[in-house]
Amino acid sequence: MKSWKRYQTDPVFEVAAKYLDRMKKIIFLLVIFSSISLFGQQSYGKMILRSSAFYNDSAIPKLFTCEGENISPPLSWEKEPEGTVSFVIICEDPDAPMGTWIHWVYYNIPRSVHGLHRNVPPEYLLSTGGRQGITSFNTYGYGGPCPPEGTHRYYFKLYALDILLTVDKNAGKSEVEKAMKGHILAESQLMGTFTRNNERYQNPRVNPGPSLLSRPIPRQAAGYFNLSFSALARERDQQVAPLHSLV
């Protein structure tokens, strides 16, 4: 039998030892990563924001988008710092083609509140406490993801403040951020993604009706009406364009 020292100098043993050492490093990195994104939230400091509807950096269910019921998702948080008086929630899409699009502004949430049920009413003053600001949709309350195309990111940001904000009834994100400057004790965020279904004929919210090219058109008829087939195709595309594609 080979002695232990001979095993140590064996090329196969050396390869196995290097492999085990590399695996230890990989396991260590996985542990660090899981401690950051545990339970699907991303936190700064001690405060944690999460949702039972989706994990951090994962797809937001269609129910909470313009292709579903367009209602706000459930959220919960914990471990706010001492001295917290109120919370602020802001949801925004930095990938919108016209610049950052604001989907939700909710401020003066009482400290005693540590979660929101889904479908928060789109009202200025809520019976559960707090007020909602004006979004980029020019409405109070939550407006769900509705990108014109591709995949967008939606950041739900939670702030713990040491004051109650005094802002105008029609205040939006910029006014709320200005008022809470210098009063943020902690913050946390949760990011979800959404990809819009760009197949026109598969969009459940669009009913284009019969297409101009849904049946053969004789060339004589097209010439009679002075319409080229390319013009007909453009008309067809305009008919079935999505009814709304804001963000």
Cβ 87 vs Cβ 109: under 8 Å: yes
Classify the C-alpha dihedral 21-27-30-36 as positive or negative.
negative
Identify the CA nearest to 110 among candidates 128, 86, 132, 131.
Answer: 86
Question: Do 75 and 167 reside in the same domain of the chain?
Answer: yes
How does pLDDT run across 166-218, given as a tens digit for each residue?
999 999 999 999 999 999 999 999 999 999 876 543 434 334 444 333 334 44
pLDDT greater than 90 at residue 238: no
Domain contains 216: yes
Domain contains 232: yes
Query: H or E element: which one contains 4?
Result: helix 4-9
The residue type found at 24 is K
Classify the C-alpha dihedral 77-81-84-89 as positive or negative.
negative
Question: Do 217 and 170 reside in the same domain of the chain?
Answer: no
Question: Do 111 and 183 reside in the same domain of the chain?
Answer: yes
Cβ 104 vs Cβ 91: under 8 Å: yes
Question: CA dist 2 to 10, 11, 94, Å?
Answer: 10, 14, 64
Which residue range(s) make up the domain with 11?
4-36
pLDDT greater than 50 at residue 229: no
Cβ 187 vs Cβ 89: under 8 Å: no
Number of independent structural domains in the chain: 3
Domain contains 231: yes
Q: How far apart are CA 200 and CA 223, in angstroms?
A: 29
Domain contains 245: no
Question: Do 135 and 186 reside in the same domain of the chain?
Answer: yes
pTM beyond 0.85: the answer is no
Domain contains 244: no
Cβ 191 vs Cβ 40: under 8 Å: no
| DSSP code of residue 60 | P
Question: Do 24 and 126 reside in the same domain of the chain?
Answer: no
**The total number of residues written for the chain in this structure:** 247
Question: Do 181 and 210 reside in the same domain of the chain?
Answer: no
Question: Do 116 and 26 reside in the same domain of the chain?
Answer: no
How does pLDDT run across 121-155, given as a tens digit for each residue?
999 999 889 999 999 999 999 999 999 999 999 99
In the chain, pLDDT over 90 holds for what percent of residues? Answer: 59
Query: H or E element: which one contains 108?
Result: strand 101-110
Question: Do 134 and 95 reside in the same domain of the chain?
Answer: yes
Question: Do 61 and 99 reside in the same domain of the chain?
Answer: yes
